[in-house]
Structure 1
Amino acid sequence: MNINLIIAENLKRLRNERNLSLGQLSELSSLSKVMISQIEKGETNPTINTIWKLASALNVSYTSLLEQQQHDTYVIKKSDINPQLNEDEKYHLYCYYKNTPNRNFELFQMELDEGASYTSIGHPKKSEEYVMVLEGTLTLEVNNETFILNADDSIKFTASSKHTYCNSGGGTLKTIIINFYPV
């Protein structure tokens, strides 16, 4: 996306979030209303100093005006994800959502080839793992217990210790995994 359009979108959003009119932002930034309006419409290429003045007036970081924002609604296609593989490439992990400062979970799709297994060394203390089987049969070993789950079955466990996924059915095992990190 064009950097001027990114700045325009961010400036307008940040000004509206603060309930500031063009005139009020003009006073706070020492920039003219016309200049601010042109920037918000993407009609001009603001200088570095202009961006600094706007960031200071809005009490945000300089990069807040330059970074493209994620929209509330967006599509993630599996074909666009580079899977994580184990050494023998029989375990495929597709990360759809990463843990971020605003999101305390990760969402994955796991695929495990017929007869294969994968052992996780565990996750941070207090983390929880939620697994739902989409296709196949999962034998899960966790905390010295063994659980067998079929399609549409789900399990939740404390994920800080070692756990092993085994494809104990025919064909590829497919699961959804959510790793949750309580705050």
Structure 2
Amino acid sequence: MNQAMSDDGGHAAHEAIAGRLRNLRRKRGWSLDRTAAATGVSKAMLGQIERGESSPTLATLWKIATGFGLSISSLIAPSERIPGTDIGRQGALPVWSDGQLQIKTLFPFDAALGFEWFELTLPPAATHLSEAHESGVLEHVLVLAGTLSLLIDDRWVALSTGDTARFAGDAAHGYRNTAEMPAVFHNLIHYAPGTHHDG
């Protein structure tokens, strides 16, 4: 799904985000101006996302989720899955892509546990830079296939298949794949207690 913008699944995912953003605004009684102030995303961009005229980047979605006090998974893949015992079938797991980074939601955010768990695929020669998330966020990475470099504390650290890393997500960080094959890795994002909800 490297070209999610052009396939039906990618279009459906972005339509779902558009609807989710509209519903969140209505539920809270927020205007586009109020939403722009809370998220740091321009009113024009928010309107384009809601109308399905723009495919937001992951960085933009993080800003929107943070502004609403949501986890990223509750914005990109709201779930009907029940907390506790949970079975997710391979073909039924939600997948989202910004055209470069593909994100499969393995376990959506669970407020009782304080984390969400993703499988990410970064294509060859791709780099994804992330702004600092809110205070207290920790990221845990396990490389499943290929090699991955992480930008942590202003330096790139190389990881190979089977390597792990944990780092503060509340500082700028990044992911880079310099290999000729996709890098596939798990990313578990842990939020500070009481800071996020499902919307």
Q: TM-score range by the shorter chain?
A: 0.5 to 0.7
Residues 137 and 81 of structure 1, relative CA distance in 2, 3 Å threshold: same
- Output the amino acid matched with 2:90: K
- Which of 143, 163, 166 is the aligned partner of 2:173? 163
Shift of 1:69: 8.3
Structure 1: 5+ residue stretches without partners? 1-67
Aligned to 1:92: 102
> 1:156, 1:111 → 2: CA distance?
18
Aligned to 1:8: none
| SS of equivalent residue, structure 1 residue 98 | strand
Q: Are residue 110 (structure 1) and residue 120 (structure 2) matched?
A: yes
> 1:81, 1:151 → 2: CA distance?
23
| SS of equivalent residue, structure 2 residue 184 | strand
| SS of equivalent residue, structure 1 residue 79 | helix
Q: CA deviation digits over 1:41-71, x for unaligned, max 9? A: xxxxxxxxxxxxxxxxxxxxxxxxxxx9837
> 1:110, 1:69 → 2: CA distance?
20
Structure 2: 5+ residue stretches without partners? 1-79, 194-199
Q: TM-score, normalization: structure 1?
A: 0.57
Aligned to 2:62: none
Does structure 2 conserve the Cα–Cα contact (< 8 Å) formed by 1:130 and 1:177? yes
Shift of 1:153: 0.3
Does structure 2 conserve the Cα–Cα contact (< 8 Å) formed by 1:108 and 1:177? yes
- Output the amino acid matched with 2:86: Y
Q: CA deviation digits over 1:88-116, x for unaligned, max 9? A: x1210111222232120110000011111
Does structure 2 conserve the Cα–Cα contact (< 8 Å) formed by 1:119 and 1:165? yes
Does structure 2 conserve the Cα–Cα contact (< 8 Å) formed by 1:78 and 1:94? no
Aligned to 1:178: 188
Shift of 1:126: 1.3
Residues 113 and 72 of structure 1, relative CA distance in 2, 3 Å threshold: same
> 1:83, 1:126 → 2: CA distance?
26
Instruction: Give runs of aligned pairs for residues 45-56 of structure 1, distance below 5 A.
Output: none
- Output the amino acid matched with 2:97: L
Residues 72 and 154 of structure 1, relative CA distance in 2, 3 Å threshold: same
- Which of 86, 93, 115 is the aligned partner of 1:74? 86
Would you say how many aligned residue pairs link Structure 1 and Structure 2? 114
Residues 134 and 69 of structure 1, relative CA distance in 2, 3 Å threshold: closer
- Output the amino acid matched with 2:155: E
- Which runs of at least 4 in structure 1 moved beyond 6 Å after TM superposition? none
RMSD, aligned α-carbons: 1.9
Percent of residue pairs identical? 20
Shift of 1:122: 2.7
| SS of equivalent residue, structure 1 residue 151 | coil
Shift of 1:121: 1.7
Aligned to 1:47: none
